């Protein structure tokens, strides 16, 4: 059956959707991690990741946004699906260019998009098989139809994927054999991401504990991922055959399956996992109910006020500010992709429409032109941290004020020229839910603009903006 339009006579994403069920399970993260590596080996995708993505510097934020986007694209309401598909298309349309190795890339390339969906399907099938829950022929065909419909939603057609499963496996093997490469993105994911992943919010205050845990978990995650990959791919990119890796991999998948089968359902969902990682979450899970009342006042204080102590004196390490906030892609420089990543994060959190999103990106583009004019003396399209620290506070703030104005407008949803506590929490939430409510000071436009400009020029610290961009 061929799906060529975003709408179907029969809703394959109905209550019995296999994909919708799996997306909400924490164990699906195993499939996503595996699929991401196979995607990165596709030349265009690998180049786009290295030039534009923040997955290396902000993986927890990427995890949250990917989960939110998946839920929207699989929502029972077709209007929610179409809105998210349009947002993804706008986001990807802004990701094109030429990599540092001279490879042209375009995130809207139909073949590359088809490969992304193909890796998700094959990795999901593999996850079920390795977990001891292998799909039968009927379920596998249904899951494949769901993935083709997913592709049709974002690309307008599913014709880039074969119509039948036998044809799909031939297509999949052919791409692995002739298209994939052992590129920089593959190496970064395997040997840097797992080894250097920053602490999740719950452990940011315990760097020694996180470093010790990561020293053990990082190599294990690498071994599990490598052992789960198709043998043809491992041969093509010359991945090592690590001793004991297959046993470790099977144990990990079986443990995830047993947890899903025997633990309470609420404990094995993505929401619960993200809530454990991020104590600022206001979800309604087992831990959220305990924290809700005790943490509400403290959370509001953290959101609405600058950090205490030295930060109140507007003292901030320029190096730390540059690394945590400005250098979104982690390459050591401030470039347009870093500013675009900030705009994407705001647009994703607020689920902005096309016109609002365009205003936000144009405001960031104005600021980037100011930075280039004032700081990029050699015209190489990037600014280093020393250049920024030395002169950013002295630059005209026209671009930053424009960003703040747009940000105020899109956050002030009731158009009363004030940002109340609920609107502020909508922007600065750190997990999946928006139910953080309570009384608090209203922000006028001038106060909002003043705080944003002071933060973005490194003059004043704010926990809220740091959490938003880091």
- Res. 38: pLDDT tops 90: yes
Q: What is the pLDDT of residue 63?
A: 79
Q: CB of 299 within 8 A of CB of 428?
A: no
Query: Higher-confidence residue: 318 or 121?
Result: 121
97, 208: one domain: yes
Segment 129-172, tens digit of pLDDT: 999 999 999 999 999 999 999 999 999 999 999 999 999 999 99
Residue 444, strand partner residues: 418
Q: What is the pLDDT of residue 433?
A: 39
Residue 396 lies in a domain: yes
DSSP alpha helix (H) spans, 305-335: 318-321
- Res. 447: pLDDT tops 70: yes
67, 143: one domain: yes
Residue 300 lies in a domain: no
Q: Please state, for a pLDDT cut of 70, what percent of the chain lies above it.
A: 85
Segment 173-201, tens digit of pLDDT: 999 999 999 988 898 888 888 888 888 87
Residue 298 lies in a domain: no
367, 248: one domain: no
Residue 26 lies in a domain: yes
State the Cα torsion 412-416-417-420 to the nearest 10°: -60
244, 360: one domain: no
Q: Which domain holds residue 459?
A: 309-469
Q: Give 365's pLDDT tier (boundaries 50, 70, 90).
A: very high
Residue 237 lies in a domain: yes
Lowest-confidence region among 266-270, 416-420, 457-461:
457-461
Residue 418, strand partner residues: 444
Return the residue matching tokens 């041969």.
Answer: 235
- Res. 253: pLDDT tops 90: yes
Q: What is the pLDDT of residue 391?
A: 72
Q: What is the CATH number of the domain that holds 384?
A: 1.10.238.10
Lowest-confidence region among 67-71, 213-217, 285-289, 309-313:
309-313
Q: CB of 446 within 8 A of CB of 452?
A: no
Query: Higher-confidence residue: 115 or 280?
Result: 115
Whole-prediction pTM: 0.78
Into how many domains does the chain fold? 2
């Amino acid at each position: 059956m061929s799906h060529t339009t975003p709408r179907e006579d029969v809703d394959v994403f109905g209550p019995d959707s296999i994909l919708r069920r799996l997306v909400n399970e924490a164990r699906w993260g195993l499939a996503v991690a595996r699929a991401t590596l196979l995607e990165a080996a596709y030349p265009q995708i690998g180049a786009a990741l290295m030039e534009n993505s923040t997955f290396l510097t902000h993986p927890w934020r990427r995890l949250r946004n990917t989960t939110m986007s998946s839920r929207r694209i699989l929502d029972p309401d077709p209007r929610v699906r179409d809105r998210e598909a349009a947002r993804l298309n706008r986001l990807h349309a802004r990701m094109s260019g030429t990599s540092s190795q001279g490879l042209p890339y375009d995130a809207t390339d139909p073949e590359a998009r088809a490969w992304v969906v193909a890796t998700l399907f094959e990795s999901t099938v593999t996850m079920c098989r390795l977990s001891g829950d292998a799909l039968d022929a009927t379920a596998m065909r249904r899951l494949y139809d769901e993935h083709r419909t997913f592709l049709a939603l974002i690309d307008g057609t599913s014709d880039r994927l074969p119509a039948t499963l036998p044809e799909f496996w031939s297509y999949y093997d052919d791409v692995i054999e002739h298209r994939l490469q052992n590129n920089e993105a593959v190496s970064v994911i395997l040997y840097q991401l797992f080894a250097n992943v920053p602490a999740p919010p719950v452990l940011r205050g315990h760097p020694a504990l996180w470093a010790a845990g990561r020293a053990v978990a990082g190599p294990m995650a690498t071994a599990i991922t490598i052992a789960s990959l198709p043998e043809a791919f491992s041969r093509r990119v010359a991945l090592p055959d690590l001793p004991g890796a297959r046993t470790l991999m099977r144990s990990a998948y079986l443990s995830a399956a047993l947890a899903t089968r025997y633990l309470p359902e609420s404990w094995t969902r993505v929401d619960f996992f993200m809530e454990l990682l991020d104590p600022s979450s206001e979800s309604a899970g087992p831990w959220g109910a305990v924290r809700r009342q005790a943490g509400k006042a403290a959370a509001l204080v953290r959101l609405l006020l600058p950090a205490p102590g030295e930060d109140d004196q507007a003292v901030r390490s320029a190096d730390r500010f540059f690394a945590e906030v400005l250098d979104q892609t982690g390459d050591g420089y401030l470039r347009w992709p870093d500013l675009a990543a900030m705009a994407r994060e705001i647009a994703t959190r607020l689920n902005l429409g096309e016109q609002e999103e365009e205003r936000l990106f144009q405001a960031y583009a104005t600021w980037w032109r100011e930075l280039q004019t004032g700081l990029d003396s050699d015209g190489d399209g990037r600014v280093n941290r020393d250049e920024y620290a030395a002169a950013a506070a002295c630059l005209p703030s026209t671009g930053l004020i424009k960003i703040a104005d747009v940000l105020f407008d899109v956050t002030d949803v009731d158009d009363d020229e004030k940002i109340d506590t609920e609107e502020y929490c909508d922007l600065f939430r750190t997990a999946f839910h928006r139910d953080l409510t309570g009384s608090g000071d209203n922000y006028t436009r001038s106060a909002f603009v003043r705080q944003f400009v002071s933060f973005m020029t490194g003059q004043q610290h704010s926990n809220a903006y740091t959490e938003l961009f880091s």
